[in-house]
Amino acid sequence: MIEEKLYPFDEIEKKWQAYWRENKLFTVDEQNWKNKYYCLMMFPYPSAALHVGHGRNYIIGDVVARYKMMRGFNVLTPMGFDAFGLPAENAAIKGGIPPKVSTLNNIATMKRQLDQWGVEYDWSRVVISCLPDYYKWTQWIFLKLYEKGLAYKKKAFVNWCPSCKTVLANEQVVNGTCERCSTQTTQKDLEQWFFRITHYADRLLSDLDKLTEWPERVKTMQANWIGKSTGVEIDFKIDGLAEKLKCFTTRIDTIYGATFIALAPEHPFVDKIIEGAKDKAAISKVVQKMRNESKIERSQEEAAKEGVFTEKFVINPVNNKKIPVWIANYILMEYGTGAIMAVPAHDERDFEFAKLYKLPIEVVIDDPKSPLDAATMKEAYVGEGIMANSGKFNGIDSQTAIKKIGDFFEENKWGKRATQYRLRDWLISRQRYWGAPIPIVYCPKCGTVGVPEKDLPVLLPENVEFRPTGESPLKFAKDFVNTKCPKCGEPATRETDTMDTFVDSSWYYLRYITPKLTDRPFDTELVNKWLPVDQYIGGIEHAILHLLYSRFITKFFYDIKVTGFDEPFKNLFTQGMIIKDGAKMSKSKGNVVSPDKLIADYGADTVRLYTLFIGPPEKDAEWSDRGVEGAYKFLGRVWRLVEKGNALRATGNADEKLKKNIDDLKRKTHQTIKKVTDDLDGGFHFNTAISAIMELVNETYDVIALDPSGKKDIEVLKEAIESVVILLSPFVPHIGEEMWRALGKTDSMFKSKWPSYDKNAIVEKVVTIAIQINGKLRSKIEVSADMNNADLKAAVLSDPKIKNWIGEKAIRDLIIVPKKLVNVVL
């Protein structure tokens, strides 16, 4: 803890925050979209208080916004709150404070924290997703999707979190546990609303290629999640039944080695297939047992394989062989067709199952390295190879066979090529109160009816009773539930489920452009001018959920022609987490660092500078209180530098030594401008940009120390100091603005231009050449930068140390790297 106040940060920070707000520095006219730059930070859920880990996101965004402003862009930086969600409702159940009240309180607290950080937004555009003027349009999106058949209700096995007492989307289940509370989820067979995101699977995958400015790892995660695979869907004739059994395979090349068929226990054909079996009762029992195993049990580690023979067979179309049909617990109904052709020789799971139930194994692809023997093989051979025991395809390589056998199937109409995705439809129903009501009415006569647009919003009732059971109060709100059918006017009931909050956040960035429109969600023309977002900044934890859903909704809007772009975010930056004591900051771990005390002790600029200097912003970083003090000391040093600079008066001429130092300082100044500009433009290299400014500060001090009486070229010193202030200002805006005025400027520094460097000034006149002997550094010489190679060679060879090293040996080669290095090869 540093006791002394190194500069009056408290006065300065309050003063300039008020100034920026009064002068509406961050307020944007949406009609003025020329030279626009849309800088967006993921809007937060309004929890009780922010910590320094959250701060990183907003600080980075603020730096980018201020920098782009100084580069002459018309910068839009809005902020809002993802305000629906479970914590507020749970607090209401526990403490009795209505969710709306606690949420709006938290929003006020968070806004205050953002303000004291000096993080500025165009607050005239604030979007709060839990207010009716916003969720009206969330409901409108639901209706549009419903209209186009992309929102539908179905009964399905869904993920249920017993603690949150609601269903969850697949994306919200992590390793079989709830993403929010880490409780083990269970399966429930419920009727729920879904969005047909799978219709967009292919585009969501292939358009990842358009996102050239997105981090590779985010794109990989999305691609994995969508999980595309291509193969063949085979129609197997079932012996003794009219139906054909569809099996999907990516390995049609192994079709001759299929020795059994396996169905998921939930497969719709199961009952029909075991009908009439001799052992029907026993088979049924096994099937029941497998069905009762929850999905979690099945997917945990290496669950034991189990299955039962159905006494039925299918015909393999390629060789008319009869293949036995089994029901097996390792087949998932959710993927493919819920039935597979099993090829034990070339699939590990099938191999394991075949060994367990002593089913035949037939090698149809030979390992080119060592021949395979079905009788002795210890594991399946899943690689490529040469086709064997495969009729007319014998001898060709398996890659070619995939193509040829695919053609063969399509020619004979035994099946067709097909694509499968891992992605499931987005389950959006939630059995909770604090969310946007799903705008649907159930009428005994007309069935399921969408609420007409003119009747939106379907208001969330506020006088409701929260039950300790966690059941949604909406179910018991009679005035809400009982309504009239919009079609026939007869008594009807409302849907009492609300929407997943990820629906709210899937479109908020569009609302910021025209946040106050009451007759439309947004103005298409203006949105097309301002979007896509130029820079989106947020946490990696949203790599799949929020970013995938937003891309989906954007594509849907594009298709229904309410927007003219099909990807919402051009550049994406995902910042790393701030770690404390080896763990992510969280209240439960008790390792939260609050910004409030730090800002009180050292000021917001210090916290900002340290947060940016801590390391590359995309990487996780360990928080250190010592590091904060270092940042504070540096700002004090800069503060004193400006004071010193202002006190300097030129008195007479500088001597030679001083002249050289002044030349060096001028060069350093322009090199620093270049370095900082490149670091900000070419990625977010804040940490190295700040180090470069520190170097310039150090060098400026050195020059002043050489001659404190002031016999020097004042202009160069003033330029150096002014550059330090301006280059530093996006990072530490308050002290930046204050020092800017101290240098005699009258307008806000964020209205002034970012400096450009003089190309001639950065050129080194004298360079240090490293001299290596056989690649090892042995000496260094200083030479003029324009020295020719012949002279350089002579200079190197006359260096006494080098002479000594060479001795009597012959020089075999001499490599010259201009202005850097000479390597003498002996």
Q: How far is the CB of 266 from RNA (least distance, A)?
A: 10
Residues 159-178 that bind RNA (CB under 7 A): 174
The residue (of 152 and 701) whose beta carbon lies closer to RNA is: 701
Q: Going residue by residue from 749 to 788, which x/- string records binding to RNA, judged by CB under 7 A?
A: -------------------x-x-x-xxxxx-x--------
Contact residue for RNA among 213, 622, 715, 791 (CB under 7 A): 622
Q: Is 265 in the site for RNA (CB under 7 A)?
A: no
Q: Is 307 in the site for RNA (CB under 7 A)?
A: no
Among 235, 384, 629, 663, binds RNA (CB under 7 A): 629
Q: Which residue, 521 or 730, is less far from RNA as judged by CB?
A: 730
Binding-residue pattern over the window 381 to 420 for RNA, x denoting contact by CB under 7 A: ---------------------------------------x
* Identity of residue 58: Y
Residue 175: which residues within 8 A CB-CB, separation 6 or more?
none
Our CB check for RNA shows the closer of 154 and 217 to be 217
Query: Residues near 70 by Cβ (< 8 Å), separated by ≥ 6?
Result: 726, 729, 730, 749, 750, 752, 753, 754
CB of residue 773 vs RNA: minimum separation in angstroms? 9
Answer for the pair 354, 361: CB distance below 8 angstroms, yes or no.
yes
Segment contacting RNA by CB under 7 A, of 199-207, 439-447, 566-574, 809-817: 809-817
Question: Which parts of 503-562 interact with RNA (CB under 7 A)?
Answer: 540, 544
Say which residues have a Cβ less than 8 Å from residue 206's Cβ, sequence separation at least 6: none
Phi, psi of 116, rounded to the nearest 5 degrees: -75, -15
Candidates 72, 368, 564, 630: give the one binding RNA (CB under 7 A): 630
Taking the least distance from each CB to RNA, the nearer of 488 and 826 is: 826
307, with CB counted inside 10 A (0-12, 13-18, 19+), is buried
Contact region with RNA (CB under 7 A), list: 63-71, 337-345, 664-672, 722-730: 337-345
Record the tokens describing residue 583, joined without a space.
């763990």
Minimum distance from residue 17 beta carbon to RNA (Å) = 25
- Which range binds RNA by CB under 7 A, 159-167, 279-287, 295-303, 733-741? 295-303
Quick one: 378 or 561, whose CB is closer to RNA?
A: 378
Smallest gap, in angstroms, from Cβ of residue 140 to RNA? 31
**Nearest distance, CB of residue 683 and RNA, angstroms:** 10
Looking at 305, 529, 644, 718, which residue binds RNA (CB under 7 A)?
Answer: 305
Q: Distance between CA atoms of 135 and 158, rounded to whole angstroms?
A: 25
Site for RNA (CB under 7 A): how many residues?
A: 89
Strand partners, 324: 313
Nearer to RNA, 260 or 613 (CB): 613
Task: Tell me if residue 545 falls in helix, strand or coil.
Answer: helix
Does 216 bind RNA (CB under 7 A)? Our answer is yes
Mapped to the 3 state alphabet, what secondary structure does 566-615 carry? CCCECEEEEECCEEECCEECCHHHCCCCCHHHHHHHHCHHHHHHHHHHCC
When asked if residue 488 is in the footprint of RNA (CB under 7 A), the reply is no
Nearer to RNA, 289 or 619 (CB): 619
The CA-based angle 605-638-742, given to 5 degrees, is: 90
Pick 483 or 591: Cβ nearer RNA: 591
Q: Which is nearer to RNA, 324 or 439 (CB)?
A: 324
Convert 238-247 to b/e letters by CB count within 10 Å (16 or more is b).
beeeeeebbb
How far apart are the C-alpha atoms of 767 and 782, rounded to whole Å? 6
Minimum CB distance to RNA smaller for 27 or for 294: 294
Tell me the closest approach of the beta carbon of residue 490 to RNA, in angstroms: 44
Shortest approach of RNA to residue 433 CB, angstroms?
A: 28
Would you call 316 helix, strand, or coil by DSSP? strand
Does 621 help bind RNA (rule: CB under 7 A)? yes
Map the footprint of RNA across residues 233-262, applying CB under 7 A: 248-251
- Is residue 347 a contact point for RNA (CB under 7 A)? yes
Closest to 152 (Cα-Cα) out of 121, 100, 109, 198 = 198
Token look-up 């910590």 returns 51
Chosen residue from 153, 199, 349, 487 binding RNA by CB under 7 A: 349
In the numeric block, the tokens 């995660």 are attached to: 221
How far, in Å, CA of 230 to CA of 234, rounded?
13
Assign 3-class secondary structure to 182-250: CCECEEEEEEEEEECHHHHHHHHHHHHHHCCECCHHHHHHHHHHHCCEEEEEEEEEECCCCCEEEEEEC
Phi-psi sector, 134: left (phi>0), alpha (psi -120 to 50), beta: alpha
The minimum distance between CB 217 and RNA, in angstroms, equals: 4
Amino acid letter, residue 579: I
57 to 86, contacts with RNA by CB under 7 A? none
SS (H, E, C) 759-790: CCCCCCCEEEEEEEECCEEEEEEEEECCCCHH
Q: How far is residue 220's CA from residue 211's CA, in Å, rounded to a whole number? A: 12
> CA 580, CA 53: separation in Å to the nearest integer?
9
- Which of 34, 95, 96, 304 binds RNA (CB under 7 A)? It is 304
Pick from 221, 377, 449, 761 the residue near RNA by CB under 7 A: 221
∠ CA(535), CA(172), CA(228), 5° rounding?
A: 75
Q: CB under 7 A: which stretch of 301-309, 361-369, 509-517, 742-750 binds RNA?
A: 301-309
Using the contact rule CB under 7 A, the part of the chain among 10-18, 448-456, 508-516, 629-637 near RNA is 629-637
Which position among 140, 330, 434, 757 is part of the footprint of RNA (CB under 7 A)?
A: 330
User: Do residues 551 and 568 lie in contact, with contact meaning Cβ atoms separated by under 8 Å?
Assistant: yes
Q: Is 487 in the site for RNA (CB under 7 A)?
A: no
Distance CA 53, CA 150 (A): 38
The site string for RNA over 421-440 (x = CB under 7 A, - otherwise) reads -x------------------
Q: How far is the CB of 20 from RNA (least distance, A)?
A: 28
| Backbone torsion region of residue 683, taken as left when φ is above 0, otherwise alpha when ψ lies between -120 and 50, otherwise beta | left
CA angle 590, 593, 595 (to 5 degrees): 145
Residues of span 666-685 touching RNA by CB under 7 A = 685
Name which of residues 684 to 703 contact RNA (CB under 7 A).
Answer: 685, 687-688, 690-691, 694-695, 698, 701-702
Note whether 818 binds RNA by CB under 7 A: no
Going 327 to 330 to 333 to 339, the CA torsion angle's sign is negative
Q: Which of 127, 274, 364, 614 binds RNA (CB under 7 A)?
A: 614
